[in-house]
Structure formats: C-alpha cells, structure tokens
C-alpha cells in the first residue's frame, strides 16, 4: 500500500508539566479515552512515569500518518538538547502545567526562545499547546494560559491550545485530531 507520511513531533515544556504522561496515554495498554485509530508501535509498555532523562522516542501510527515523537526532558539541565531537534521537526507539542503559576513566566521564556530560534522562526510548523493539569483546584483556564504566554502574538504558525487532564486522558484527542489535520 501507500507509505504513510512520516511526521516528527517534538514534545516540549517545563519539567513536571506532563509531557510523558500525555505520550503514555497513547499507548495501547491504556484502554482508551483515545480512539482505536492511534496505534502505538514501540516496544515499550506503559510504565510508571518518572522524570525523563535526556529524551525518549515513541512511534505512533494513525491510518495515514506515522508519527515519531521526541519526548524531551523539561529539566533545565537538559533543555539545551531541545534545539538539536528543531531542524528535523514537523510539529511541536508544548505542554504547560496550568497549576504552576510561579513558573508560567519560565514557560513563556522557554517558548519565546523556541519560537525565536533560527531553525524554528522561519518554519510554518503547527504548534499544539496543552494547558495540562486542569483538574488541579487552582489551575488556570486555557484562555488564561494562552494570555500569559501571549499566544495571540504567534502570527506565522498555526497553533491551537487544548485544556487537558493527562492522567484521565481528557482533552488529548481533540489536540491530536487538530494536529493530524495539519498533515492530511
């Protein structure tokens, strides 16, 4: 049959924002809030989630696309790894902890650095934001998160923000459907 289109997705955001939890939700052992369409083809099994060291690579297939997701560590000491993957990335997922008001300014700094990087600035790649951990009692709304990060200033790339609860898998499908739509 036809070869599936290969899409490299870079998953970024501060440590503890929920990147690995989101990606873990795509694994088939999690009987799903997510649709059957998302078939995971990596060898790894769902496991207890620990802070990522460096990065992990996960592969997922939908009916017409083959995604390679680079799940980067958000810890400050590993953030300098991110830029090495900008050139070959076709999409970005940027995860924010909606309950972490103190570090929202740090998240904004990292986002601005990313968007101003020479390997990203000129590319019209889609950026999907997850305002994650909306289950937390004092979580900010996705509208508030989007204001704090000044997302309306992003004019040269398609972007979308979804509120999510990665532990329950809520909000993830909406975001992934949007992202997938950019490659169909």
Which residues are near Mg ion by CB under 5 A? 19-20, 52
Q: What is the DSSP letter of 149?
A: T
- C-alpha closest to that of 7 among 88, 123, 82, 119: 88
Nearest residue (CB) to Mg ion, 30 versus 35 = 30
Q: What is the DSSP letter of 52?
A: P
Binding status of residue 175 toward ligand GTP by CB under 6 A: no
Closest approach of Mg ion to the CB of residue 64, in Å: 28
Going edge to edge, which strands form the sheet with 55-61?
A: 39-40, 55-61, 65-72, 5-12, 91-97, 127-132, 159-163
Closest approach of ligand GTP to the CB of residue 64, in Å: 28
Q: Which does 15 bind (CB under 5 to 8 A by kind): ligand GTP, Mg ion, none?
A: ligand GTP
Binding status of residue 133 toward ligand GTP by CB under 6 A: yes
Question: Contact letters (x/-) for ligand GTP, 19-38, by CB under 6 A?
Answer: xxx-----------------
What are the C-alpha distances in Å from 113 to residues 83, 116, 131, 159, 180? 10, 5, 19, 17, 25
Binding status of residue 52 toward ligand GTP by CB under 6 A: yes
Total chain residues near ligand GTP (CB under 6 A) = 22
What are the C-alpha distances in Å from 48 to residues 25, 45, 68? 12, 10, 21
Closest approach of ligand GTP to the CB of residue 152, in Å: 24
Binding status of residue 132 toward ligand GTP by CB under 6 A: yes
d(CA 170, CA 133): 10
- The binder of ligand GTP chosen from 17, 25, 89, 180 (CB under 6 A): 17
d(CA 15, CA 54): 11
Binding status of residue 165 toward ligand GTP by CB under 6 A: yes
Nearest residue (CB) to ligand GTP, 13 versus 175 = 13
d(CA 53, CA 6): 25
Which spans in 79-137 are helix H?
Answer: 104-116, 118-121
Binding status of residue 56 toward ligand GTP by CB under 6 A: no
Where does this chain bind ligand GTP (CB under 6 A)?
13, 15-21, 49, 51-52, 73-75, 95, 132-133, 135-136, 165-167
């Amino acid at each position: 049959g036809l070869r599936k289109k290969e899409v490299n997705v870079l998953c970024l955001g501060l440590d503890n924002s929920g990147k690995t939890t989101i990606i873990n939700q795509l694994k088939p052992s999690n009987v799903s809030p997510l649709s059957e369409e998302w078939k995971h083809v990596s060898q790894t099994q769902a496991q207890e989630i620990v802070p990522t060291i460096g990065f992990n690579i996960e592969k997922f297939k939908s009916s017409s696309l083959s995604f390679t997701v680079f799940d980067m560590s958000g810890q400050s000491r590993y953030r300098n790894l991110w830029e090495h993957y900008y050139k070959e990335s076709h999409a970005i997922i940027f995860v924010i902890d909606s309950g972490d008001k103190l570090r929202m300014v740090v998240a904004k700094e990292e986002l601005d650095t990313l968007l101003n990087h020479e390997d990203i600035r000129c590319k019209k790649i889609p950026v999907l934001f997850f305002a994650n951990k909306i289950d937390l009692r004092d979580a900010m709304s996705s509208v508030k998160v989007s204001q704090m990060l000044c997302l309306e200033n992003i004019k040269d790339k398609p972007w979308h923000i979804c509120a999510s609860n990665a532990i329950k898998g809520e909000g993830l499908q909406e975001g992934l459907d949007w992202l997938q739509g950019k490659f169909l």
